[in-house]
Amino acid sequence: MPNVEPLSEDQIDQKGFTKLLRRSREIQAPDELFVRIMAHAPGYAKSLHDAMYMSHVEGNVDHKLKEIIRVQLSRKAEDTYFANLRSEKAKGDGLTEERIEAGCGDFENDSQFTEAEKWALRYAWLMYREPGKLNAEFYDEGKRHYSEAQIMELGGFVALHYGMQVFMRTLGAFPMHDSEGNEVSQAQSEKIYGASVNG
C-alpha cells in the first residue's frame, strides 16, 4: 500500500471530483490512484491535477512527445508509479512502446526523431542531470524549433511533472491497472511492474 493511503470512492466528495476522476480514467496518466491520494488535500488535488492535465494533454507541443518526456523524467525520478503509466490518449494517437523506449534511450543518435524532437528530449534529459548546460545558447537553439510559448509550455510541463514524480516516488505507489487495463491491487501491481522503473 502507498505510504499515504488512497481514499476510497465513498470517501471522496464525488461532486467535487467528478471531472478529475473522469480525466484520470480517460488518460490513465495519472490514473485514479493519484487523485485518491491527493484527495486528502482537496484544494491541492484539484489545482495540481488541472495543471498537470493542461500541461500534459493540452497546449501547442505534441502530446505524444510530452508523453515520451514524462516517462523519461519518471525514470530519472525513480518513481514506480508514473514510470509505469501510459497515456491512453498518446497510445490512441499512435505512440508505441518502442518509440517511448527510443526516446528514453539514445535518442540523440536515433533518426526517427526530428531535430526539434531531439532538442525537447535533450531539454528534459538535462534539466535534472546537468541543468548548467541549459544556458542561453541552449535556449537559442530551442528557439530555432519552437516558439517561446512552446518552450515555456515544455519547461513548465517538465518541472511540474518531475516534481510530482519526485513526491510520488516517496509514496512507493504502483499503477492501479495492468497493461491490459485490468484493475489490480498494489501488491499485484508491484509484482507485475517490479521495483525497477526502466523498460
- Residue 60 engages other proteins in binding (rule: CB under 8 A): no
- Residue 166 engages other proteins in binding (rule: CB under 8 A): yes
Calpha distance 54→180 (Å, rounded): 26
Calpha distance 69→114 (Å, rounded): 15
Query: Is residue 18 helix, strand or coil?
Result: helix
Q: Which residues contact 127 (CB under 8 A, 6 or more apart)?
A: 134, 155, 158, 159, 162
Pick the binder of other proteins from 127, 173, 176, 197 (CB under 8 A). 127
Calpha distance 76→79 (Å, rounded): 8
Residue span binding other proteins (CB under 8 A) among the ranges 59-67, 114-122, 159-167, 174-182:
159-167
Residue span binding other proteins (CB under 8 A) among the ranges 13-21, 54-62, 126-134, 176-184:
126-134
Residue span binding other proteins (CB under 8 A) among the ranges 63-71, 136-144, 177-185, 189-197:
136-144
Cα R_g (the chain), whole angstroms? 17
Please report, as ranges, the residues that interact with other proteins according to CB under 8 A: 3-5, 37-38, 40-41, 44-45, 48, 77-78, 127-128, 131, 134-136, 138-139, 155-156, 158-172
